[in-house]
Structure 1
Amino acid sequence: MGISKTEINLRRLLAAAPQQQNQAKLIHYVATLREQLEQLAEERTPEGLPRISKAQVNDYSEKIEAIASKLVTPLPPVRVSEDALRSNSLKTSTSKSDGETQAPSSPGLRRRFVPASNLEDRTQGTVDADTSEPVKLDAQAHAHIEKQRKLQESLTDEMVGLARQLKESSLLISQSVQNTEKVRFNSMLPTLILRC
């Protein structure tokens, strides 16, 4: 399986980004890298399988976030989850509304929607990043967060139960060992008395 054009561009930009000193261009690089990573995660082979592995997607994501962490005003992190990969494979069409180009959304990735008139400005490197506003989550993202919270709570409860069982088992074993030693001592006691 060959490397796609998107992956080649992503690798080139990853290699060039650490040498970039201009903060505005570096912000643009990070945004472009994130978009390319999202596209790459959506790419499929003719058999319908993901073009690159989840481990490779996570590796690229970590490299992008390492670059983003060097920014004066860091951008929020991007994680590509299995649910995001699955939902992206189902949502492959793009639509237009209110003069903005929209692409498939995924709960794990933050996507910037840019009006078509601003596309030329972006390619010239004059992108202003507004990171002062919080990221707004859709209902699907909130549902995913709530699901993860419930899973975490159930795991915590299960771990508490397992710890309680382990403690009870340890006490029972300790008592059993003590009782066995007492029985052995009591059985040896008449022999010891006779020897004295």
Structure 2
Amino acid sequence: MKTNTASKAETPAVRQRILDTAARLFHRQGYNSTGINQLIEEAGVAKASLYQHFKTKDDILKAYLMETSQAWFEQVDKTIQGQYTTKEKVLALFDMLGDFATSVDFRGCNFQNALVELDINETDTRQFIQGHKSRMGQVFADLLSSAEPDVANEVTLLFEGALITSQLFHNLEPIKTARRIVERIL
């Protein structure tokens, strides 16, 4: 009698392959421009397998954003661990931002990109994105807890603005400029 062990072991791999493919496609061509059939074909999965893991394309987007958020904050933690002073930690995050921007060929923030494609009535994903961005703001608030009250908000705004502006102009200058401003105010 044949057991179902192989298919059970493959289930997480299939789910991850769908998410990896979605991550690549959503980031490269956008959420709305990525069709389910393209996702199925490029992930190399059957339609039934995709729907076994995700009921809708929105569910894939949410899972992709959750996975991306987790990876982002792991990188944030790793980046600030190697620094000693608050200023070094904050500036290291701007350096990390520059590395990210170039690594994705200035395609910008996964969350900002998804946000602009959301239907105005799609509140769950919007709230998740707000939570992700608030969490980044909290990182700066925690790091800058001894600074003037508005400094963390200002640094967060510079961080987010630098990311979107570097995408717009397809270069690192906005991130470098924001880093210089932060260096002066800290």
**Normalising TM by the smaller chain, what interval?**
0.3 to 0.5
> Taking structure 2 as the reference length, what is the TM-score of the superposition?
0.35
> Taking structure 1 as the reference length, what is the TM-score of the superposition?
0.34
Q: Which has the larger radius of gyration?
A: 1
Q: Which has the higher relative contact order, 1 or 2, with Cα contacts under 8 A spaced 6 or more apart?
A: 2
